[in-house]
Amino acid sequence: MSQYITSKICQAGEIGIHGNLFGGTMLAWLEQIKEQIAVS
C-alpha cells in the first residue's frame, strides 16, 4: 500500500466564519487527488 501526501493553502473564500474549511472545498480537493492517483 502506498501513500499520497499533499498540501494545500486555504484562501479566505474557502474558510467559514468559524475558521473551518468548507466541506465542498475538501471534497473537490479529494477528487483532484483521486484523479492524480488514477493516472499514476
Domain ranges of the chain: 1-40
Q: Decide if pLDDT at 3 tops 90.
A: no
Instruction: Supply the pLDDT for residue 26.
Output: 94
Structure confidence at residue 4 as a pLDDT band (50, 70, 90)? confident
* DSSP H or E run through 33: helix 23-39
With cut-offs at 50, 70 and 90, classify the pLDDT of residue 2: confident
Q: Greatest CA span in the chain, whole angstroms?
A: 38
Q: Structure pTM?
A: 0.74
Interval 6-40: pLDDT, tens: 899 999 999 999 999 999 999 999 999 899 888 98
